[in-house]
Structures are given as C-alpha cells and as structure tokens.
Amino acid sequence: MNSVAQAKMELRVGMSEGKTAIVIGASTPVGMGAATARRLRREGARGVVSGLGEQPRQELAQEIDGLASEADITSKQANVDLVNFTLETYGQIDLAVNHMGLATRSPIAQETEEHLQLMTEVNCFGTY
C-alpha cells in the first residue's frame, strides 16, 4: 500500500466515533450488511443490527459489541419499533444503512407466486 492509500485509510478510522447506527439486512454472515456493521464498529460507531436470521444476527451483534433486533422490513410498525428500540437504548440515531434484499436462487420456472410477491414487497416497498 502506498503512502497516499495508507493516509486515506487512517483518515477513515474514527470517522464514525460516537455515532449510533442501525444496519438493516445484517443477518447474512458474509453479506454487505454484516460487513457494513463490522466496518462501522471499527470506525467507532455503536449500533443495532437487524435482519431475519436470529442466530447470525445475534452472533454479529456480539462480535461488534452491539445489539440485535428483528425487524420485518415490510412492516411499518416493525421499523418504527426498531427505531424506538435504538433511541431508547442509545438516545440517538446518526446513521441508518439499508442492505436488505431478497433474491431468488432457483430458476424462475420453479418460483412460486408467494415468493415472487415477497421479493417484490421486500425489494420494492421495504425501503418505505
């Protein structure tokens, strides 16, 4: 790594110091949400990870010394509850990262209407 790249890396460390973050979609251990939560922690943030996988979500929260909360992204009330949980715990929210998403891993001909509907709800309407 050259000196410019090293200097840029050093500038990033601590950028999130004292910030509180919610990372949605962080229950896949090798996914972007989990990677983001780890990165924010390295930069000094504290926070709440959310996703639908109980065990990986809890393991990630423990790894980053944070908290875990389940939130169904398609439920407005679940998202309100996630925000309230974070505010009650930390008193602030500085960052919110949405890495949720649902994809099919089988041929489209094998998909069910219910799964396609769920993918649409999560991927298109979950961010609202």
Tens of pLDDT, residue by residue over 19-74, are: 999 999 998 888 999 999 999 999 999 999 998 889 999 999 999 999 999 888 88
Structure token pair of residue 106: 């089988």
Q: Decide if 15 is inside a domain.
A: yes
pLDDT of residue 119: 85
Domain assignment present for residue 66? The answer is yes
Is 12 inside any structural domain? yes
- Residues above pLDDT 70, as percent of the chain: 88
Q: Is residue 81 in some structural domain?
A: yes
Domain count along the chain:
1
Residue 108 inside a domain? The answer is no
Structure tokens that stand for 58 in this block: 């809890």
In the chain, what percentage of residues exceed pLDDT 90? 48
Q: 71 lies in which domain range?
A: 3-100
Question: For the CA atoms of the chain, what is the radius of gyration?
Answer: 17
pTM for this one? 0.79
In a domain, 117, yes or no: no
Q: Let me know if residue 106 belongs to a domain.
A: no
Strands 20-24 and 46-50: what pairing? parallel
CATH number at residue 14: 3.40.50.720
The answer as to whether 122 is a domain residue is no
Mean pLDDT over 81-94 rounds to 96
| Cα distance between residue 86 and residue 79, in whole Å | 11
Report whether 7 contacts 32 (CB < 8 A).
Answer: no
Q: Bridge-partner residues for 95, per DSSP?
A: 21
